[in-house]
Chain A
Amino acid sequence: MSIKQKGSFGVAQIILFLSVAVLVVVVAVPVLLIFFNAFWADGQFNIEDVLMVLKQPDTYQALINSLIIAIGTTVGSTIVGTFFAWLVTRTDLPYKTFMKSMFLVPFMLPSFIGALAWKMLLSPNAGFINRYWMDTLGFSSPLFDIYSYLGIMIVEVMYLFPFVFIQVCGALERMDPTLEESARISGAGLLTITRKITIPLVLPSIISGALLVMLYSMAHFGTVAVLGIENGIFNIPTLIYQKIHQSAGSFESIRTGTVLSTVLVATAALIIWLQGKILSKGHYQIIGGKSFRPMELKLRGLRTPLFLFCLAYIGFTIVLPTIVIFLVGGLKTYGLAFTWENLSLDNYKFILFDYKVTKDAIFNSLSLGLGSAFITMFAGVMISYVIVKMRVKGKGILEFLGMLPFSVPGSVIALGVILAWSGKYGVNLYNTVWIILVAYIARYMAFSLRANSAALEQVHDSLIEASRSCGATMWQSLKDIVIPLVKPGMLAAFFLIFLPSLRELTVSIMLYSPTTRTIGVAIYTLNEDGETVVSAALAGIALILIILGQTIINRFTKKEGA
């Protein structure tokens, strides 16, 4: 399928050109502009300014905060994730399959909605739990202040620990039990086996999961925005948002933003590099590919207490916040008690049918989600085709560009998009819905490339050559052979983009205008404006949409798999 072939010259050339164009315009230009802006001032390369910006107290503090929160969250998630993974794979805990799927639920839920729920429960003066603690039980100070480093970390752990959990579960399930059995035959006790055999073998997965948590936490906007700003705790993404938002795009604030972004990208790149190293090193023996039946530890007397502990954890971290969101969404006014007289569906009706802000937001999110999912799905197939199937020079650059957004946090992409698309280079999309669309496409392109590349790898070259030799032109073989065979990958890409975009906050919050709020932005801003009940009701609607979408996907993928 060499492009030198003159018979298919046109088509191959067009595909290649389009792929490069899409990636350069959507991904490369915004990211490069960030670096350019950070290091290039007054017509020359300038590192002193960069250091100046980093030395300012607020930026310095944000860097430290990002680090503290990320480290705390990573440690917490690693402990929680590994413990639960071990519990559901290696012990005789009752209802393990159910538990396992429950521990994965936080993947689905937007963490900023969770943070909102915890704010309602544990804000020092108005949180329901703290009020109960002080008013009914008579304590003089609140039980727990969620507006703190510890509070932020705990909430982040609740939503990020599945990254560790899923990796460790996978490793423990695929680990060849004979490795442990042979240690046992050699006379080692269970503790020794765990310490000398199991943990070293699973360690790469634990670390890889932990680094993933670190990556997300460093770049995490939602939780810190909801819980930190009250007490002046900023991390890098929230400070970027604050700077851009407050000063409406002044040179100074953009400068700070780009410098912070550079730090964020560098850290992310370092983490991803580390993860790659550890994974490539740790990929050896344990991955047998097959599922074995590992030996289970009898929990005996601890079985019931641990079971109850899991239930309590799930109830406390998943069920309780969700219920609070729906209940608050039903209240007439925030602060009233949860009694039948105070609860109604009026807020839900209001936001769905009467309130322009929320109606717009739902419409915007749905159309942005569909639009970006469609565009990214098709662009992803095209670019993957070039990367996987065409023998052209420089396709490594395409691959690099496509995967770049994995290491570029959402707030950085948003800032880059602002730099590129606010009129400085001829096109002004600022304050329109299009700028959000462009940013979504950049952010989610990597998802699409992954899914589509994987699908295309399965389509052997000879299948395409066979159709060419049957007389099909390049277009015909794309249409008849390639597209039908990668359809599952395309669908996967579509949903991988559509669902997250419904709850997207980090990118849209930097780019919205009064008429282009997304669901995430609307929930956040309404809450900031003190419209707590309306915001909670919208969050409830969002949760319903997300759960609905997830259920449809699960049904769908099961059918495809059969």
Chain B
Amino acid sequence: MDDIIKIENVSKAYDKHQVLNNLDLSIKRGECFTLLGPSGCGKTVLLRLIAGFEVPETGKVYIDNTLVTDADGGDMVSADRRGLGIVFQDYAVWPHMTVFENVSYPLKIAKKPKEELTATTMRMIEMVGLKDLDKRLPSELSGGQQQRVALARALVANSSLMLLDEPLSNLDANLREEMRFEIKELQRELNVTVLYVTHDQEIALAIADRVAVMDEKGNIRQIGTPYEIFERPSDPFVFNFMGIANYLSVREEGGKYLVANGNQVIPWKNPEGTATSWVGGFRPSDVEVTRDGEGLTGVIKRASFLGATMHYLIDIDGDEFNTSIETHEAVEKNLIFEEGETCKISFKDLLWFDAEDLKEVTKQ
């Protein structure tokens, strides 16, 4: 697979605020690529650079092996000649045009013959599930329907590359879930490359072939498949950003690795590396709680019954973390704890991070 988008050494600043810093990125033809990061991290700016709405201070952007943006004064291909489909966060459906007029606009600009224009437009409208609504004005549509119009408009000209900027963030939760599958399906069906920008981890994991995680400073921390990003995060930032994270600190004393402030020795493989103190990162689902047996000893600080699950706040020698057990399992295995009881803790999965790196992440 060759690269449909290639970004080389791109920097962008607004006034004195540096948004992107010497950034490189390649997106392969036919994949669904998600750019994931907290709000304000510059991911939308990157998308706008690719679209041609912004000009970088340094660097080059290639689309389809054509140089479209060159900060060093090469010819620039303007937004209208890049042949992209874009879906905006606020839909950007033109309020004075009907659904048909909105969707057919790219074809009208391309001066397609009338029959072809009508046929293609109607097919596209049907494809996004708006059949029979083609004569409506956007004001007569729901938010989800407007989003479909925007999607159809971006797809109708048969562009090989689609840029989506948080297209689902204005929709309610159910609709969001429904739409993300539809987008994925359309992408496969039409075999287009999708660059999807979002701050929502769940959508990113659900939709993407590959994910790039960006931090607040506009640096890409990790690129990989959703599985890699979630299970093998390259650093604490990615780990922290990808879901509820718990940490357990570990220090070295006289060749032994001790947990938190107490004297319990870690019962697993020792951390590697040059750091002097470590943090073990894990998700609530990685925790295994038992009454006795192997593992670290902890104290139940708070027990909350949430119906289907039991929720525990556990303290191990001064470090606290959350976990939950399904209620029926807790009953079967005698794991209904009272506050103040002790328990044994082990982990299905634990990732070691340098404590210094983590400090940097968690303070933000």
Contacts and interface: CB of A to CB of B under 8 A. Distances in A.
Nearest to A466: B92
A480 B157 CA distance: 18
B153 interface: yes
B349 interface: no
Interface in B326-344: none
Nearest to A468: B79
A476 B55 contact: no
A473 B55 contact: no
Given A4-B55, A484-B96, A485-B96, A469 B80 contact: yes
B50 to A, nearest CB: 11
B77 interface: yes
B153 A470 contact: yes
B80 A7 contact: yes
In this complex, the member of A465, A471, A472, A476 whose beta carbon has the largest number of chain B beta carbons within 10 angstroms is A471
In this complex, the member of B54, B88, B92, B150 whose beta carbon has the largest number of chain A beta carbons within 10 angstroms is B92
A1 B48 CA distance: 11
B95 interface: yes
Contacts of B347: none
Interface in A1-22: 1-2, 4-8
Contact of A469 (B51, B75, B90, B94): B51
B110 A462 contact: no
A460 interface: yes
A467 interface: yes
Contact of A7 (B77, B83, B90, B150): B77
Contact of B81 (A7, A465, A481): A7
A469 B76 contact: no
B52 A462 contact: no
A295 interface: no
A1 to B, nearest CB: 8
B92 A460 contact: yes
A470 B92 contact: no
Main secondary structure of the interface of A (DSSP, over half): helix
Contacts of B86: 465-466, 469
B157 A471 contact: yes
A471 B81 contact: yes
In this complex, the member of B83, B95, B153, B157 whose beta carbon has the largest number of chain A beta carbons within 10 angstroms is B95
Given A5-B52, A5-B55, A471-B106, A466 B153 contact: yes
A462 B92 contact: yes
Interface in B69-91: 75-86, 88-90
A460 B90 contact: yes
B105 A6 contact: no
Interface in B101-149: 105-106, 109-110
B83 A462 contact: no
A7 B76 contact: yes
B54 A2 contact: yes
Interface in B53-68: 53-55
B19 to A, nearest CB: 15
Main secondary structure of the interface of B (DSSP, over half): loop
Nearest to A484: B96
Contacts of B54: 2
A47 interface: no
Contacts of A481: 94
A7 B153 contact: no
B95 A485 contact: yes
A190 interface: no
Contacts of B106: 470-471
A463 interface: yes
Interface in A458-499: 460, 462-463, 465-474, 476, 480-481, 484-485
A251 to B, nearest CB: 50
Contacts of A473: 78, 80
Contacts of A1: 53
A481 B154 CA distance: 16
A481 B97 CA distance: 9
A474 B80 CA distance: 8
Contacts, number: 84
Interface residues of A, number: 25
B314 to A, nearest CB: 47
B88 A465 contact: yes
A465 B150 CA distance: 13
Contacts of A2: 54-55
A143 to B, nearest CB: 60
Interface in B34-57: 51-55
Contacts of B96: 484-485
A473 B52 CA distance: 13
A465 B94 CA distance: 11
In this complex, the member of B81, B90, B94, B106 whose beta carbon has the largest number of chain A beta carbons within 10 angstroms is B94
A465 B90 contact: no
Contacts of B88: 462, 465-466
Contacts of A4: 55
Contacts of B105: 467, 470, 472, 480
A403 to B, nearest CB: 26
Nearest to B77: A7
B84 A469 contact: yes
A473 B110 CA distance: 11
B80 A465 contact: no
A474 B78 CA distance: 10
Contact of A476 (B51, B76, B94, B109): B109
Contact of A470 (B55, B90, B109, B163): B109
Contacts of A465: 51, 53, 79, 86, 88, 92
Contacts of A466: 86, 88, 92-94, 150, 153
Nearest to B73: A6
A7 B92 contact: no
Given A469-B85, A470-B105, A470-B153, A5 B78 contact: yes
Contacts of A5: 52, 55, 76, 78-79
A473 B96 CA distance: 19
Contacts of B92: 460, 462-463, 465-466
Contacts of A470: 80, 105-106, 109, 153, 157
A466 B76 CA distance: 19
A79 to B, nearest CB: 45
Contacts of A8: 78
In this complex, the member of A2, A6, A474 whose beta carbon has the largest number of chain B beta carbons within 10 angstroms is A6
25 contacts: A2-B55, A5-B55, A5-B76, A6-B76, A462-B88, A463-B94, A465-B79, A465-B86, A465-B88, A466-B93, A467-B94, A468-B52, A468-B80, A469-B51, A469-B80, A469-B84, A469-B163, A471-B106, A471-B110, A472-B80, A473-B78, A474-B80, A485-B94, A485-B95, A485-B96
> Which A-B residue pairs are the 9 nearest by beta carbons?
A7-B78, A462-B92, A466-B92, A470-B106, A469-B86, A468-B79, A462-B88, A471-B109, A6-B76
Interface of B: 51-55, 75-86, 88-90, 92-96, 105-106, 109-110, 150, 153-154, 157, 163
Interface of A: 1-2, 4-8, 460, 462-463, 465-474, 476, 480-481, 484-485
Given A7-B80, A469-B154, A476-B109, 6 more contacts: A4-B55, A5-B55, A5-B78, A462-B92, A467-B105, A468-B78
